[in-house]
Chain A
Amino acid sequence: MPISKEEVRHIAHLARLGLTSGEIEHFQGQLEGILAYIDKLKSLNVEGIEPTAHALDIKDVLRPDVRRPCLEIDKVLRIAPQREGAFYKVPRVIE
């Protein structure tokens, strides 16, 4: 299954991965090989087969609506790359 550089760039953008043009080319080649291999699934007939999203057949796992202690604010903000008072600080989000 051939995959273009443009597609790799698009996927990298979806995944917010900054790739150099060298990386894009490198991955493009490797990805084509891997995709060609996984394409073998196409030869299987999966008509009428239910998907398995969970290995264990369990259902209805719930917890009661009962409060638990929260984390102390300093425990988490201490390792924040940037903080401002009680907030996490990030580059400006443009709406």
Chain B
Amino acid sequence: MKRFVIRRIISMVAVLFAISIVTFCIFNVIPNSDPAQRLAGRNPTTGQIEAIRRQWGFDKPVYTQYVKTMEKVFTGDLFSYVNQTDVDEKIIQDAPRTFSLAIGAAIMWMFVAISLGLYSAVRAGKFADRFLTVLALIGISMPVFWVGALMNYYLGFKWNIFPNGGYVPFSDSPLQWAYHLIMPWTALSLLFIGVYSRVLRSNVLDTINDDYVRTARAKGLPERQVLLRHVLRNSLIPIVSLWGLDFGAVVGGGALLTETVFDLQGVGQYAAESIGQLDVPPVLAIVMFGAFFVVVLTTVVDILYATLDPRIRLT
């Protein structure tokens, strides 16, 4: 067991390392405008540009630059090419917004998906089931940015039911914080609800006739208890692993579409802006941040699975 854990952790670090190299390459190796020139501003003299090159290390070969930049990422000394803001500091400031979005949405989608999925399975074949299946399918077919933009305009700006985007920190006012996040949570959850409810439904239908469930019924347990205690618990196991992956990805900037549409100014939105501006330092830092979450959660889940199911340790 211990060997398995160590192997997974090593592989996790290796993956993160590889991700950082890939990201760095994407921007630095592909021809684009010289960052030293951009930092220099208007009508720069060649002397100015050289000075900046030296300060930032652009005159060194690519791998030295890579090492230097990664150093900066971890020591918190990283500055944006565009306006020289401290990148790590900004990520730390923006992270609560992304977390608020991700955690809230995750709770919402799990809760709704489990309820709908369970209900759907129990009423399998009947109208309710079919209706919910259709809804789920529509949910996974809608692009989140489209739904979000329409919600923002109609519910937010036109009919003033919800605020039209923006973010209020929890410390300022928990009520406003939630009020501003209801639409983003809903928009982001729609997609996941669609998927997870169907997965749960099929899992439930798979387990509902298994032996141990039949045994529980034979023992005389009420159906509700059978469902909740045995069926649901076992159906949730595969969901949790997938949830871990998706949550990690949402936190890591995957929710950038939602953030952009609702102007939440979280980490994802920052990443999207920086990419457009070819601002390498923030992109690198955010990708590491995001990948870190995904990889850590995947590893944790894998380890959890391995503790539950010894067979998996061998692969």
Q: Do A and B bind each other?
A: no
Chain A contacts to B: CB under 8 angstroms: none
